[in-house]
Amino acid sequence: MTPDEHGYVKVHPGVVRATHWINVIAMAIMIGSGWRIWNSSTIFDFTFPVAITIGGDPAASQDVHNELGLAGALQWHFAGMWLLVVNGLVYFIYGIWSGHFRHAFLPVGPSAFIRDALAALTFRLPHRLGVYNAVQKTLYLGVLLAGVVMVLTGLAIWKPAQFQELTFLFGGFDTARLIHFLGMSAIVLFLLVHIALVIIVPKTLPAMITGRAQAHGAKA
């Protein structure tokens, strides 16, 4: 990376930044509304606090709230779904066409992952803005795969008759719901780790907004 006249280098392309922040909005909608949908028909014996969910009227009575909450949550969920799908397609097309996936996420293998994971646990893993280590590559590839599974299981749950082959592939409606929930849990866990890393290395946040970083600060 060659610094410009102000001493900055480009670390994140504009398409990557735009799709990243649109994805933040889409995931917030999907997760918040998904938790409200979960509350209406749980698989396990717990519910999410209404305050952190999306859909319905928090001031309504419990019975009305459950009914309107589900309807509102479904509307939000479908809106977030289309935003996520369109944004994801843009990101995937750009990632393949531009070579971003090849340059950013490959190569990666078990030995590199173990090496970088051990270095991270001992706080000896250097960080370079715009350059992913093997642990980051594995996590990003994993969350991309989880996103694809979430879309497919979501379709299987949404239209089990129209997508009966897809529903069958996931082991039926109930199993598809379980996989969908586990996929959501994996994504939420990834987001928590991602946010924690941003807090630990705060200079990554301005770089994802502006796309640039000072040349002397691009490595830590």
Q: How confident is the model at residue 216, as a pLDDT?
A: 55
Mean pLDDT of 5-17: 77
Whole domain around residue 152: which residue ranges? 8-217
On whether the CB atoms of residues 167 and 156 are closer than 8 A, the answer is: yes
Which is more confident, 166 or 135?
166
Q: How confident is the model at residue 28, as a pLDDT?
A: 95
Q: How confident is the model at residue 218, as a pLDDT?
A: 47
Q: How confident is the model at residue 70, as a pLDDT?
A: 82
* Residue 116 in domain: yes
Percent of the chain with pLDDT over 90: 46
What string of DSSP letters covers 53-78?
--SS-TTS-HHHHHHHHHHHHHHHHH
Q: How confident is the model at residue 162, as a pLDDT?
A: 92
pLDDT tier at 7, thresholds 50, 70, 90: low
Mean pLDDT of 126-143: 82
* Residue 1 in domain: no
Q: How confident is the model at residue 61, as a pLDDT?
A: 47
Q: How confident is the model at residue 193, as a pLDDT?
A: 86
* Residue 121 in domain: yes
* Residue 91 in domain: yes
* Residue 3 in domain: no
Mean pLDDT of 114-131: 77
In the chain, how many domains are there?
Answer: 1
On whether the CB atoms of residues 38 and 188 are closer than 8 A, the answer is: no
* Residue 141 in domain: yes
User: Closest Cα to residue 87, out of 36, 10, 29, 141?
Assistant: 29
Tens digits of residue pLDDT in 15-51: 999 999 999 999 999 999 999 999 888 889 899 998 8
Query: Which residue's structure tokens are 């082959």?
Result: 165
Q: How confident is the model at residue 219, as a pLDDT?
A: 46
Q: How confident is the model at residue 79, as a pLDDT?
A: 93
* Residue 2 in domain: no
Q: Which amino acid is at 28?
A: A
CATH of residue 163's domain is 1.20.950.20
* Residue 34 in domain: yes
pLDDT tier at 66, thresholds 50, 70, 90: low
Is the pLDDT reported for residue 170 higher than 60?
A: yes
Tell me how far apart the 2 most distant CA atoms of the chain are, in Å.
63
